[in-house]
A and B are shown apart, each in its own frame.
Chain A
Amino acid sequence: MSEQDQQKKRGWAAKAEAAKNAKATAEAEAATEVLDDDVVDEEYVPSEADGGMFGNLPAKKAKEFWPSAKRLMGLLKPESLGVYIVIGLVVVSVVLNVIAPKILGSAMDVIFGGVMGKQLPPGVSQEQFVELMRQQGQENFADMVSKMELTNGINFPKLTFLISIVLLMYFVANIFLWAQGWLLNRIVMRVIKQLRNDVQAKLNRLPLNYFDTRQRGDILSRVTNDVDNVQQGLQQAFAQLVSSVLTVVGITVMMFIVSWELALIALIALPLSGVMAGFIGAKSQKLFAAQWKNTGSLNGQIEESFSGHDLVKVFGRDADMLVRFDERNEALYKASFGAQFVSGVIFPAMNFVSYLSYVGIAVVGGLRVASGSMSLGDATAFIQYSREFTQPLGQIAGMANMLQSGVASAERVFEFLDADDEVEETGTRHLPAKTDGHVEFEHVSFSYVEDKPLIEDLSFSAEPGHTVAIVGPTGAGKTTLVNLVMRFYELNAGRITLDGVDIKDLSRSELRSKVGMVLQDAWLFGGTIYDNIKYGNLDATEEQIMEAAKATYVDRFVRALPDGYQTIIDEEGNNVSAGEKQLITIARAFVSDPSLLILDEATSSVDTRTELLLQKAMAALRTDRTSFVIAHRLSTIRDADTILVMENGQIVEQGNHSQLLALQGAYYRLYMSQFAGEEETAVDDSTAVHS
Chain B
Amino acid sequence: MLVTLIRRYSKPYLPQIVAVLIFQLASTIATLYLPSLNAKIIDEGVSRGDTDFIWRTGAMMLAVALGQVLTAIAAVYFGARTAMAIGRDLRRSVYRQVSSFSAQDVNRFGAPTLITRGTNDVQQVQMLVLMGLNFMVSTPIMCVGGIIMALREDLSLSWLVWVSVPILVAVVGYLVVRLMPLFRSMQTKIDAINGVLREQIIGIRVVRAFVREPYEAKRFGDANQDLTAVSVKIGNLFVLMFPAIGMILHLSTAAVLWFGGQRVDSGDMQVGSLTAFLQYLLQILMAVMMGTFMAMMIPRASVCADRIGEVLDVEPSIHNPVSPVVPAEKKGRVEFRDVTFKYPGAEAPVLSNISFTAEPGKTLAIIGSTGAGKTTLVSLLPRLYDVASGSVLLDGIPVTELDASEITSRVSAVPQKPYLFSGTIEHNLRFGKPEATDEELWEALETAQARGFVEEKSSGLDRRIAQGGTNVSGGQRQRLSIARALVTKPNVYLFDDSFSALDVATDARLRKALKAKTRDATVIIVAQRVSTIADADEILVLDNGRIVDRGTHDELLETSPTYQEIVESQLSVEEVA
- Give A368's nearest chain B residue, CB to CB: B46
A182 to chain B: which residues have CB within 8 Å?
235-236, 239
Query: Which of B72, B405, B505 has the most chain A CB within a 10 Å cutoff?
Result: B72
Residue-wise interface mask of A (346-365) relative to B, using a CB-CB cutoff of 8 A (1 in contact, 0 not)? 01110110011011001100
B118 to chain A: which residues have CB within 8 Å?
302, 306
- Give A598's nearest chain B residue, CB to CB: B209
Residue-wise interface mask of B (191-223) relative to A, using a CB-CB cutoff of 8 A (1 in contact, 0 not)? 001110111111111101111110111001100
Q: Are B208 and A488 in contact (CB under 8 A)?
A: yes
Give the size of the chain B interface in residues (CB under 8 angstroms).
Answer: 192
Q: Are B68 and A561 in contact (CB under 8 A)?
A: no
- A39-B415 CB under 8 A given contacts A6-B110, A181-B238, A308-B421: no
Q: Tell me, yes or no, whether A577 is within 8 Å of chain B by CB.
A: yes
Q: Tell me, yes or no, whether A620 is within 8 Å of chain B by CB.
A: no
Cα distance A41–B246 in the bound complex, in angstroms: 49
The smallest C-beta distance from B156 to any residue of chain A, in angstroms, reads 17
- A11-B103 CB under 8 A given contacts A35-B470, A154-B261: yes
- A160-B258 CB under 8 A given contacts A35-B471, A200-B197: yes
Q: Tell me, yes or no, whether A81 is within 8 Å of chain B by CB.
A: no
Which one, A37, A42, A337, contacts B80 given CB within 8 A?
Answer: A337
Cα distance A689–B573 in the bound complex, in angstroms: 10
Residue-wise interface mask of A (97-135) relative to B, using a CB-CB cutoff of 8 A (1 in contact, 0 not)? 000100010011011101110100000000000000000
A380 to chain B: which residues have CB within 8 Å?
275
Q: Are B208 and A12 in contact (CB under 8 A)?
A: no
Cα distance A337–B212 in the bound complex, in angstroms: 52
> Which B20-74 residues have C-beta < 8 A from chain A?
27, 34, 37-38, 41-42, 45-51, 54-55, 57-58, 61-62, 65-66, 68-69, 72-73
- Give B434's nearest chain A residue, CB to CB: A320
- Give A349's nearest chain B residue, CB to CB: B69
Q: Tell me, yes or no, whether A419 is within 8 Å of chain B by CB.
A: no
The smallest C-beta distance from B72 to any residue of chain A, in angstroms, reads 4
- Give B82's nearest chain A residue, CB to CB: A337
The smallest C-beta distance from A602 to any residue of chain B, in angstroms, reads 13
The smallest C-beta distance from A366 to any residue of chain B, in angstroms, reads 4
The smallest C-beta distance from B8 to any residue of chain A, in angstroms, reads 18
Q: Are A28 and B41 in contact (CB under 8 A)?
A: no
Q: Are A610 and B243 in contact (CB under 8 A)?
A: no
Cα distance A556–B369 in the bound complex, in angstroms: 11
Q: Tell me, yes or no, whether A147 is within 8 Å of chain B by CB.
A: no
A201 to chain B: which residues have CB within 8 Å?
217
> Which A660-687 residues have C-beta < 8 A from chain B?
675-679, 682-683, 685-686
Q: Tell me, yes or no, whether B404 is within 8 Å of chain A by CB.
A: yes
> Which B376-433 residues have C-beta < 8 A from chain A?
376, 378-379, 382-385, 404-405, 407-409, 411-413, 415-417, 419, 421-422, 431-432
The smallest C-beta distance from B9 to any residue of chain A, in angstroms, reads 13
The smallest C-beta distance from B99 to any residue of chain A, in angstroms, reads 5
> Which B499-522 residues have C-beta < 8 A from chain A?
500-505, 508
Q: Are B503 and A26 in contact (CB under 8 A)?
A: yes
> Which B76-103 residues have C-beta < 8 A from chain A?
76-77, 79-81, 83-85, 87-88, 91-92, 95-96, 98-103
- Give A5's nearest chain B residue, CB to CB: B110
B101 to chain A: which residues have CB within 8 Å?
309
A610 to chain B: which residues have CB within 8 Å?
369-370
B109 to chain A: which residues have CB within 8 Å?
3, 6
Which one, B99, B527, B531, contacts A312 given CB within 8 A?
Answer: B99
The smallest C-beta distance from A615 to any residue of chain B, in angstroms, reads 9
- Give A51's nearest chain B residue, CB to CB: B127
The smallest C-beta distance from A499 to any residue of chain B, in angstroms, reads 18
Q: Tell me, yes or no, whether B572 is within 8 Å of chain A by CB.
A: yes
Number of A-B contacts (CB under 8 A): 557
The smallest C-beta distance from A131 to any residue of chain B, in angstroms, reads 16
Q: Are A609 and B472 in contact (CB under 8 A)?
A: no
Q: Are A203 and B197 in contact (CB under 8 A)?
A: yes
Q: Tell me, yes or no, whether B188 is within 8 Å of chain A by CB.
A: no
The smallest C-beta distance from A62 to any residue of chain B, in angstroms, reads 22
Q: Are B573 and A370 in contact (CB under 8 A)?
A: no
> Which B249-286 residues have C-beta < 8 A from chain A?
250-251, 253-254, 257-258, 260-262, 264-265, 267, 271, 274-275
- Give B415's nearest chain A residue, CB to CB: A12
The smallest C-beta distance from B279 to any residue of chain A, in angstroms, reads 8
A654 to chain B: which residues have CB within 8 Å?
none
Q: Are A174 and B572 in contact (CB under 8 A)?
A: no
The smallest C-beta distance from B388 to any residue of chain A, in angstroms, reads 14
The smallest C-beta distance from A473 to any residue of chain B, in angstroms, reads 15
Q: Tell me, yes or no, whether B566 is within 8 Å of chain A by CB.
A: yes
Q: Tell me, yes or no, whether B325 is within 8 Å of chain A by CB.
A: no
Q: Are A159 and B257 in contact (CB under 8 A)?
A: yes
Q: Are B247 and A170 in contact (CB under 8 A)?
A: yes
- Give A690's nearest chain B residue, CB to CB: B571
Q: Tell me, yes or no, whether B344 is within 8 Å of chain A by CB.
A: yes
A231 to chain B: which residues have CB within 8 Å?
231
Query: Which of B57, B123, B203, B570 has the most chain A CB within a 10 Å cutoff?
Result: B570
A517 to chain B: which residues have CB within 8 Å?
205-206, 209-210
Query: Which of B127, B236, B261 has the most chain A CB within a 10 Å cutoff?
Result: B261
Which one, B106, B220, B529, contacts A200 given CB within 8 A?
Answer: B220
Q: Are A348 and B69 in contact (CB under 8 A)?
A: yes
Cα distance A683–B118 in the bound complex, in angstroms: 57
Q: Tell me, yes or no, whether B452 is within 8 Å of chain A by CB.
A: no
Q: Are A12 and B431 in contact (CB under 8 A)?
A: no
- A351-B408 CB under 8 A given contacts A32-B472, A556-B371, A635-B569: no
B173 to chain A: which residues have CB within 8 Å?
none
Q: Tell me, yes or no, whether B115 is within 8 Å of chain A by CB.
A: yes
Q: Are A208 and B488 in contact (CB under 8 A)?
A: no
Q: Tell me, yes or no, whether A458 is within 8 Å of chain B by CB.
A: no
Q: Tell me, yes or no, whether B11 is within 8 Å of chain A by CB.
A: no
Q: Tell me, yes or no, whether A197 is within 8 Å of chain B by CB.
A: yes
The smallest C-beta distance from B507 to any residue of chain A, in angstroms, reads 8
A351 to chain B: which residues have CB within 8 Å?
68-69, 72
Of B163-171, B328-336, B346-354, the one contacting chain A is B346-354
Q: Are B419 and A315 in contact (CB under 8 A)?
A: no
Cα distance A231–B186 in the bound complex, in angstroms: 13
Q: Are A196 and B224 in contact (CB under 8 A)?
A: yes
Q: Are A344 and B80 in contact (CB under 8 A)?
A: yes
Q: Are B84 and A314 in contact (CB under 8 A)?
A: no
Cα distance A154–B267 in the bound complex, in angstroms: 11
Q: Are B124 and A49 in contact (CB under 8 A)?
A: yes
Cα distance A626–B202 in the bound complex, in angstroms: 28
B193 to chain A: which residues have CB within 8 Å?
196, 224
The smallest C-beta distance from A16 to any residue of chain B, in angstroms, reads 6
Q: Are B246 and A174 in contact (CB under 8 A)?
A: yes
Q: Are B51 and A140 in contact (CB under 8 A)?
A: yes
Q: Tell me, yes or no, whether B568 is within 8 Å of chain A by CB.
A: yes
Q: Tell me, yes or no, whether A88 is within 8 Å of chain B by CB.
A: no
The smallest C-beta distance from B115 to any residue of chain A, in angstroms, reads 5
Which one, A39, A47, A173, A355, contacts B466 given CB within 8 A?
Answer: A39
B476 to chain A: which residues have CB within 8 Å?
29
Q: Are A309 and B123 in contact (CB under 8 A)?
A: no
Q: Are B565 and A609 in contact (CB under 8 A)?
A: yes
The smallest C-beta distance from A7 to any residue of chain B, in angstroms, reads 5
Cα distance A219–B198 in the bound complex, in angstroms: 9
Q: Are B574 and A1 in contact (CB under 8 A)?
A: no
B47 to chain A: which residues have CB within 8 Å?
116
Q: Can you report 27 A-B residue pairs in the complex whose CB atoms are below 8 A from each other?
A: A12-B378, A13-B496, A16-B416, A25-B475, A33-B473, A38-B464, A50-B123, A140-B49, A144-B46, A159-B257, A204-B213, A216-B202, A220-B201, A298-B91, A300-B467, A311-B431, A322-B99, A325-B95, A333-B87, A340-B130, A355-B65, A362-B37, A526-B199, A535-B210, A580-B371, A608-B566, A610-B370
Other 13 A-B pairs with CB < 8 A, given A171-B247, A309-B106, A366-B41: A11-B378, A17-B416, A49-B127, A199-B197, A204-B217, A228-B194, A302-B115, A322-B99, A344-B76, A363-B57, A606-B370, A611-B569, A612-B569
> What 9 pairs across the A-B complex have the smallest Cβ distances?
A181-B239, A316-B408, A185-B235, A11-B379, A12-B415, A677-B504, A363-B58, A19-B500, A141-B49
